[in-house]
Amino acid sequence: MQDNQKEELKKILQKSMSQEEIHEKLVEQKLKIEEKKQEKTKQKKIFYILFTLLIMFLVVAITYYFVLNSQKIKNYEEKVQIINNPKKIEIQKEPKVEEKIILKEVIVEKQIPITKEKFKEIFLSKNFNLAKCYDYKVFQIKLDNSCKDNLKEFLLNNTQALRFEIIAVINNEDIKKATVLSNDKTLQEYILKGMARHRVLEVSWYTKEVLGNEILLTPVNYYLSSKKQNKGVMIKAYY
């Protein structure tokens, strides 16, 4: 009888231990599942943070690119506007010829009572006296005192000229300077033309300062490129 009771007690104890082990395993599995969930949640948070930072970086990069590109376009347009000002000569073929010479923002009006034949004679004449001022520095625009003195003497000796023509002269040093200012060949040409026109304009103002506003000036739409390293201006007095 006692043996039977012992056996039953053993079985009960074994069952009890088995249930405890099962309970421990269940608890252990729950803990593992919970840890996995927490790990996944943590990974998702990290992913969202990284994704948000990436979006912010892309937005900043794109904004910076457009701002930089817009500034380059604006600078380019300002350069073209500065150096590409129009120059226009309008002539009315009347017994009294009214000529308008427009250089940038300067307008000079002059009335010359001449016939059509005399008008042709003036503009087709090949007889002229010439003065040169070739001691300009690279990209120099304004006249220095030495050049002013030489031009003044020339102008006073040619007060009877029918008209005056002013031409800008550039050389390789001016051209190299333009290539430094811009890599674009078209823009380089605009820069050279703008600089040349400024040289012509400065001489035009000085010529009128010496001889008065009644003289006839005929600017040209080109510049001369010197092979002898001359840079400056030349002025022709036509007869």
Q: How many whole angstroms separate alpha carbon 136 and alpha carbon 178?
A: 16
pLDDT bracket for residue 153 (50, 70, 90): very high
What's the pLDDT tens digit per position in 113-143?
566 666 666 677 889 999 999 999 999 999 9
As a whole number, mean pLDDT of residues 29-52 equals 82
* pLDDT interval class at 90 (50, 70, 90): low
Q: In angstroms, what CA-CA distances link 220 with 97, 103, 135, 227?
A: 20, 11, 21, 20
Model pLDDT for residues 50-81, shown as the tens digit of each residue: 888 888 888 887 887 777 767 766 665 666 56
Whole-angstrom distance, CA of residue 9 vs CA of residue 113: 144
Q: Of 1-10, 11-20, 154-163, where does the model show the most confidence?
A: 154-163
| Rounded mean pLDDT, 184-188 | 93
pTM of the model: 0.50
Q: What's the rounded Cα separation, in Å, for the pair 149 and 215?
A: 19
User: pLDDT at position 77, please?
Assistant: 62
What's the mean per-residue pLDDT of the chain?
79
Cα–Cα distances in angstroms (integers) from residue 178 to residues 175, 192, 194, 200, 226, in the given order = 5, 7, 11, 18, 16
Please tell me the predicted confidence (pLDDT) of residue 74: 67
Secondary structure class of 145 (helix, strand, coil): helix
Determine the pLDDT at residue 98: 45
Are 131 and 235 in contact, with CB atoms under 8 Å apart?
A: yes
Q: How many CB atoms lie within 10 A of CB 165?
A: 18
- What pLDDT score was predicted for residue 107? 40
